[in-house]
Amino acid sequence: MQKGKGRTSRIRRRKLCGSSESRGVNESHKSEFIELRKWLKARKFQDSNLAPACFPGTGRGLMSQTSLQEGQMIISLPESCLLTTDTVIRSYLGAYITKWKPPPSPLLALCTFLVSEKHAGHRSLWKPYLEILPKAYTCPVCLEPEVVNLLPKSLKAKAEEQRAHVQEFFASSRDFFSSLQPLFAEAVDSIFSYSALLWAWCTVNTRAVYLRPRQRECLSAEPDTCALAPY
C-alpha cells in the first residue's frame, strides 16, 4: 500500500482539517485582502507569515502560517502604513486643523479624516484599508434604545453614558466640520452626519493600537496615543 493511502492516514487528515478549521479559515484569497496586501507592499510592508482569517467565535483576525517561538516578533508595520494624527495633519485637512481654535482633539482629527476619506470613495489613497472596515458596528452606543432597555441595569447605564458622550462629541464638532466646506462640493452636514461620525468613532475605539504619547500645538492636550494599523 502506498504511504498515505490507508484508513489511518485518512483519519489523521480529517483530524488535521478539523483542527485547522477550529483555529481559523484563511481568507487571503479574497479580493479585498489581495488589494490590501498590494497596498501595504507599496508602503514597504513585507510579510509572508501572517494571513487574514475568520475564527469561530471571535470573527476576523490574523493567523500565523508557521509555528511561533517565544519572543519572536509577530508583526512590524512601517510608519508609512499607519494612520495617525501625523497622517491627518500632513493631509488636506492639516491647514484647517492648525488654524482651528480651540484646537481639535486627536480623536476628532482621526474621525474627521476617516469620514472624509470614506466619502472620497475610489479617490481615497486609503481605499484598500477602508474597504475591509466594518460597514456598521455593534458597540453599545450603536444599539437601539429598545435593545439597551433589555440590558442589566449597570450595562444599560454604561450604554446610555456612552451614547450621551458620542452625541456631545458630535454636537461640539459641528462648527469645525462647517469650516471644512471649501473642501467639498456637497454640504458638509450631509457628509459629517451623526451616523458617519459614529462609524468613525467606533472604528477608532475598536481598532486603534497604542503609540507613545505625542503632543502637537495644533491639537488639544488630550493624549495622542492612537494609531490605526491596516492589517
Let me know whether 61 and 135 are in one domain: no
> Are 181 and 104 in a shared domain?
yes
CATH number of the domain where residue 177 is located: 3.90.1410.10
**Least confident piece of the model among 2-6, 70-74, 164-168:** 2-6
| Last residue within a domain, chosen from 40, 66, 92 | 66
pLDDT for 35-50, tens place per residue? 999 999 999 998 888 9
Are residue 60 and residue 93 in the same domain, yes or no?
no
pLDDT tens for each residue of 67-83: 999 999 999 999 999 99
Summarize pLDDT for 97-134 with one digit per residue, the tens: 999 999 999 999 999 999 999 999 999 999 999 999 99
- The tally of domains found in the chain comes to 2
Task: Give per-residue pLDDT as tens, 172-195.
Answer: 999 999 999 999 999 999 999 999
Same domain, 219 and 139: yes
Question: Are 49 and 95 in a shared domain?
Answer: no
Domain closes at, from 17, 39, 66: 66
Q: Are residues 37 and 113 in the same domain?
A: no
Q: Do 104 and 209 sit in the same domain of this protein?
A: yes
Q: Are residues 117 and 212 in the same domain?
A: yes
Percent of the chain whose predicted confidence (pLDDT) is above 90: 80
Residues 36 and 138 in one domain: no
Distance CA 131, CA 90 (A): 22
Which of 99, 118, 123 lies closest to 204 in space, CA to CA? 118
pLDDT of residue 59: 87
- As a three-state string, the secondary structure of the chain is CCCCCCHHHHHHHHHHHHHHHHHCEECCCCHHHHHHHHHHHHCCCCCCCEEEEEECCCEEEEEECCCCCCCCCCCCCCHHHCECHHHHHHCCCHHHHHHCCCCCCHHHHHHHHHHHHHHHHHHCCCHHHHCCCCCCCCCHHHCCHHHHCCCCHHHHHHHHHHHHHHHHHHHHHHHHHHHCHHHCCCCHHHHCCHHHHHHHHHHHHHHEEEEEEECCCCCCCCCEEEEECCC
Query: Is 2 within the bounds of a domain?
Result: no
Does a structural domain hold residue 147? yes
Q: Which of 11, 42, 66 is the last residue of a domain?
A: 66
Q: What is the tens place of the pLDDT at every residue in 15-29?
A: 444 444 457 899 999
Give the model's pLDDT for residue 214.
83
9: confidence class by pLDDT, cuts 50, 70, 90: low
| Burial class of residue 117 (count of CB atoms within 10 Å of its CB; 0-12, 13-18, 19+) | buried
Contact 231, 77 (CB under 8 A): yes
**In the block, residue with C-alpha cell 503632543:** 215
Domain containing 44 equals: 26-66
Tell whether 168 is covered by a domain.
yes
Same domain, 154 and 209: yes
Domain shared by 99 and 168, yes or no: yes
Contacts of 115 (CB under 8 A, 6+ apart): 191, 192, 196, 197, 199, 200
Convert the pLDDT of each residue in 187-223 to its tens digit.
999 999 999 999 999 999 999 999 988 888 899 999 9
